[in-house]
Amino acid sequence: MDARRRGLVLLLAHAALMQIIIFGMRPSLSYAALGLGSSPAFLGVLSAFYALPALILALPAGRIVDLIGERRGMVIGAVTVSVAAGVAALGSGSLPALLVASVLLGCGQMFTVLGEQSYVGAISTAQRSDATFGIYGFAVAAGQTAGPLLLTLPGGTPSMPPVALIFTVSFGFAVVMLAVSFLIRSPARAVAGDRQPMLRAARGVLSTKGLPNALIAGSLVLASVDIFIAYAPLVGHDRGLSAVVISIMLVARSAFSMFSRLFLGVLSNALGRRWLLVTSIFGSAVMLAGFVFDLPAPVLIAFACGYGFVVGICQPITMSWISLIAPPGTRGLAMSMRLAANRLGQTILPATLGILAAAAGAAGVLGASAVMLLVAAGAGFGVPSDPGEGADASAPG
């Protein structure tokens, strides 16, 4: 196995471990808080504490990754996640400790994904970037699917999983992830001619043709996924669908998103990056609009499958695009802008569209989300047709 392939395999294992920890710990933190008698409103505070690092510290973190290298960024992330799991395991009976653990988990996740995404961009050529990011996206989705299984570990009750055990197991996974981080070698990377101050470098990145459009498209698409997950239960409630049907819809969405990422390279070569981005977002809008109508359950499940397939393409393709069009030496900074834009969209848009829920129910929210995706598709037209031109050609094949 050559060094590049070995590095990619280690990176995929690293990404899957990170997502297993995130998707196991986050619901467990909520369960632990509820077990201590906290109000449902506190869960929003817990979620906000997790999201805050990416909103406030994403740009400095991205700049740090550019300067110190991808492996060190992943090491910082793994150490921070280990500390978060340790704090949660030792302080599962304390609300302040759970808040601290949530903040640390957000910080660790931020450094980890910035290091991972910058690494994938660094080892990918312009021709293989879409396929490589698609495989990375598949590993991420697989970890997100496996993470909630931690809630089924033995020792809990019907209403409360064994949170202390989950935090301890998560700590073990974080230690393994740290070991994998040390095995990954940062690839040779282009360095900016001069080390500009962070804000000046950020302005330079934002002035790159097409990058703001990619940020807008990616954040709107990710927000639509959050909205679909949050309001699918309301679809069931409004239309008398069973929880099993809604569960099948959600699982189908996740499974088909994971499946579509295996074909990202083939689809990109066939359609071209810009048309693949625009058509996949437009298709997502069409599939999501299907939920506006009171249709039989099998038809809604089919729409969920279609929505999952096309929406699963959008995120890896924007990661690939941003990686390719970022100026030399600023890939981590560009990825941090993407992360911050995504977090902003995930924070503001679901809450804003949620105002429609009182008046129009789930149909109104999902219909508005479909319109939002049409805006995202329009933004996709503003991205250059071939971001590989002028991209970092020094990345190893």
Residues 218 and 142 in one domain: no
pLDDT value of position 168: 96
The CATH number of whichever domain residue 328 belongs to comes to: 1.20.1250.20
72 and 144 fall within a common domain: yes
* pTM of the entire predicted model: 0.76
Q: Is position 198 within any domain?
A: no
> To 10 degrees, what angle do helices 297-325 and 331-353 make?
150
Q: Which segments within the chain are labelled E, that is strand?
A: none
Q: pLDDT value at position 89? A: 95
pLDDT for res 195: 56
Which two three-digit tokens encode residue 98? Answer: 């759970």
Residues 364 and 228 in one domain: yes
pLDDT at 309: 93
**Is position 197 within any domain?**
no
Query: In angstroms, rounded to a whole number, what is the distance separating the alpha carbons of residues 259 and 308?
Result: 9
DSSP codes, 150-174: GGG-TT-BTTB--HHHHHHHHHHHH
Domain tally, the chain: 2
Q: Are residues 174 and 211 in the same domain?
A: no
One domain, residues 256 and 367: yes
Note whether residue 114 is domain-resident: yes
> Is residue 182 located within the same domain as residue 233?
no
Q: Is residue 368 located within the same domain as residue 231? A: yes
Residues 220 and 183 in one domain: no
**How distant, in Å, are the alpha carbons of 240, 280, 370 from that of 260?**
31, 11, 20
Using the CB atoms, write b or e for 260-288: b if 16+ within 10 Å.
bbeebbebbeeeebbebbbbbbbbbbebb
Strand partners, 160: 157
- Looking at residue 141, what is its pLDDT? 85
Q: Which pLDDT does position 384 carry in this prediction? A: 65
DSSP E strand stretches across 239-319: none
Residue 179 located in a structural domain? yes
Q: Are residues 172 and 240 both part of a single domain?
A: no
Answer yes or no: is 271 within a domain: yes
Split the chain (397 residues) into runs of 10 and give each run's mean pLDDT.
Answer: 81 94 88 84 78 81 85 95 96 92 93 90 72 86 85 83 93 97 77 57 73 83 81 80 82 86 83 85 94 92 94 83 73 79 75 66 84 89 57 36
CA distance 240 to 297: 10
What range defines the domain where residue 158 resides?
A: 3-188
Last residue of a domain, one of 188, 211, 226: 188
Residue 392 lies in a domain: no
Q: Is residue 181 part of a domain?
A: yes
Say whether both 233 and 177 belong to one domain. no
From 162, 188, 214, the end of a domain falls on 188
Is 133 found in the same domain as 270? no
Question: What does each C-alpha distance from 382 to 129, 205, 269, 350 come to in angstroms?
Answer: 20, 16, 19, 25
- Give the pLDDT confidence score for residue 182 in this predicted structure: 93
Q: How far apart are CA 194 and CA 142, in angstroms?
A: 39
- Residue 294: DSSP 8-state: -
Those residues with Cβ within 8 angstroms of residue 187's Cβ, 6 or more apart along the chain or in another chain: 4, 7, 70, 119, 122, 123, 395, 396
Q: Which of 221, 199, 202, 217 is nearest to 337 (CA)?
A: 202
CA–CA separation, 205 vs 185, rounded Å?
26
Query: 291 and 183 in one domain?
Result: no
Cβ 366 vs Cβ 140: under 8 Å: no
Ramachandran angles phi, psi of 289, nearest 5° = -65, -25
For residue 395, being part of any structural domain is answered with: no
